[in-house]
Amino acid sequence: MGSVVELYEALASAPDERARARLIAAAFEHFRVEITAAIQRDRNILLMWIITLMIAQVGVFAALVKLL
């Protein structure tokens, strides 16, 4: 399913309840795949930020130790 409108049109033109149930199940599966990919992508971005901040923190600590 490309869009909600396409899903609606497919549901409206489905011949019976079983076909509508298959369309809904396919839409949920597509949604699950999209959500999983988004979570994976966001997790990777978050990890990059955390690693960068940890490296910067080490630099700050090294500068503080040098001052003391």
**Whole-number pLDDT of residue 67:** 85
Amino acid at 56: A
On whether the pTM is more than 0.85, the answer is no
What Rg, from alpha-carbon coordinates, does the chain have? Answer: 24
Question: Residue 1: is its pLDDT beyond 60?
Answer: no
What does the DSSP assignment read for the chain?
Answer: ---HHHHHHHHHH-SSHHHHHHHHHHHHHHHHHHHHHHHHHHHHHHHHHHHHHHHHHHHHHHHHHHH-
Closest CA to 14 of 33, 31, 1: 1
Could you tell me the pLDDT band of residue 36, with boundaries at 50, 70 and 90? very high
